[in-house]
């Protein structure tokens, strides 16, 4: 038997084992095909499980390291290869199993610590992320430093054994539900704006820290403002466990490394697949030729489906590159730009189908109806995580190599 056939056999055997384990251990309630972020456990000390099944599914995956299957076992993972991790992901999706855990610690901070963290930092933070014990939020954007992130001004002074932090972060997702925050702070203002930035880890409940939710036009929001007023952060949380990740003043490298994971993840902000063709057929019916009996909506729908298919194919290609160890930083900007536009278009089509019914209020508390709320919230997708304009600038400079002026 050739080596290639042996490898295929091993992969097929592993896939079969993964499938059998999921079938045996994933509660039926957690196998409803809901891939939306709303159906996932986010973890943290403030998390309230939606059901006993959600708690059980998380614990079973934690026990075998499948919340972060490719992380080393000592950090709470399963120590799987990238190819094996891909198989676990594919089989969960194929069986309709919900992700057992998802948060910024897993998709953003975890990769950063694995690359830049000390051994003590990894042992302190990664197992708590993998088990869902601690939830992290991201302190990047500021009132005057959003898309131009390097203009941040949150000040971090050296006061001996501690750092003294003063400033403000905004659009901080789920800061009111997080336990810790990883924040970009300015430790030196003497050089260029990309210099003197550091990557700091601190508890959200640190004395002097205030979190205020921001309400959006949808009536609800996961965004918050975070204020730091003379917040004292220890330089070290223990031996070889500094509160800074990477060298002091060299946080821009760490920050930009993280962004490729953020933007790649934001591209996949899709809720459970919606049968737009079925909904449209129900609404308009079919003409004598078996086509959707609305030429306008039919044209809009076909255009959307083609773009969506191309986006999904590009996403699969990027995933393959990621598991092969490729550098996908710039390509993640392609997906972020295209994916968020497609999400907005999908909600627009759904609103068109629902008509006036889509604007119904959900209950007597004057909450927005579910669809209209999501439609309104989708306007933020092309802003957070780097605006669409910023993504286009990145593509123009890094892929097309166009001049700045």
Give catalytic residue positions: 262
Collapse the DSSP code of 134 into the 3-class scheme (helix H, G, I; strand E, B; otherwise coil) and give the result.
coil
- DSSP letter string, 13-36: HHHHHHHHHHHHHS-GGG-S---S
* Tokens read off for 342: 């497609």
Nearest to 200 by CA among 259, 246, 265: 246
The CA distance from 23 to 108, in Å, is 29
Secondary structure tally for the chain: helices H, strands E:
12, 8
Contact 319, 86 (CB under 8 A): yes
Radius of gyration of the chain (CA): 23
Collapse the DSSP code of 164 into the 3-class scheme (helix H, G, I; strand E, B; otherwise coil) and give the result.
strand
Strands of 106-192 (E only): list them: 136-139, 155-158, 162-169, 180-186
Collapse the DSSP code of 11 into the 3-class scheme (helix H, G, I; strand E, B; otherwise coil) and give the result.
helix
With 0-12 CB in 10 A as exposed, 13-18 as middle and 19+ as buried, what is 216? middle
The CA distance from 393 to 204, in Å, is 33
Contact 104, 171 (CB under 8 A): no
The CA distance from 292 to 298, in Å, is 6
Dmax (CA) for the chain in angstroms is 80
Percent of the chain that is helix, strand, coil (3-state, to 5): 50, 15, 35
């Amino acid at each position: 038997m050739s080596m290639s056939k042996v490898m295929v056999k091993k992969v097929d055997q592993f896939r079969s084992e993964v499938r059998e384990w999921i079938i045996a251990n994933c509660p039926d309630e957690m196998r409803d095909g809901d891939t939306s972020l709303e159906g996932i456990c986010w973890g943290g000390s403030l998390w309230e499980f939606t059901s006993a099944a959600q708690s059980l599914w998380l614990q079973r995956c934690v026990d075998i390291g499948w919340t972060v299957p490719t992380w080393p076992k000592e950090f709470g993972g399963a120590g799987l290869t990238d190819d094996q991790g891909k198989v676990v992901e594919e089989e969960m999706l194929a069986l309709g199993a919900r992700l057992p855990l998802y948060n910024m610690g897993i998709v953003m901070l975890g990769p950063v610590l694995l690359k830049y963290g000390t051994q003590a930092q990894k042992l302190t933070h990664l197992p708590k992320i993998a088990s869902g014990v601690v939830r992290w939020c991201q302190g990047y954007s500021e009132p005057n430093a959003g898309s131009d992130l390097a203009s941040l001004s949150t000040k971090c002074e050296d006061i001996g054994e501690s750092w003294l932090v003063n400033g403000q972060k905004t659009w901080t997702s789920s800061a009111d539900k997080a336990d810790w925050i990883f924040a970009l702070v300015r430790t030196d203002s003497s050089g260029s704006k990309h210099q003197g930035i550091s990557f700091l880890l601190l508890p959200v409940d640190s004395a002097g820290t205030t979190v205020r939710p921001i309400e959006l036009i949808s009536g609800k929001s996961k965004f918050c403002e975070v204020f730091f007023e003379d917040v004292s952060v220890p330089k070290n949380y223990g031996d070889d466990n500094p509160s800074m990740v990477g060298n002091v003043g060299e946080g821009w490298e760490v920050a930009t490394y993280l962004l490729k994971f953020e933007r790649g993840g934001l591209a996949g902000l899709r809720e459970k697949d919606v049968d737009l063709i079925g909904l449209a057929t129900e609404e308009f019916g079919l003409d004598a030729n078996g086509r959707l009996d609305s030429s306008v909506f039919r044209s809009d729908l076909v255009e959307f489906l083609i773009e969506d298919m191309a986006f999904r194919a590009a996403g699969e290609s990027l995933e393959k590159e990621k598991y092969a160890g490729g550098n996908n930083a710039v390509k993640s900007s392609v997906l972020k730009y295209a994916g968020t536009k497609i999400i907005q278009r999908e909600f627009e089509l759904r609103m068109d189908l629902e008509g006036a019914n889509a604007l119904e209020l959900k209950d007597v508390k004057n909450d927005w109806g579910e669809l209209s709320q999501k439609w309104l919230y989708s306007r933020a997708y092309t802003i957070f995580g780097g605006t669409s304009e910023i993504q286009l600038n990145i593509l123009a400079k890094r892929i097309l190599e166009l001049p700045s002026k």
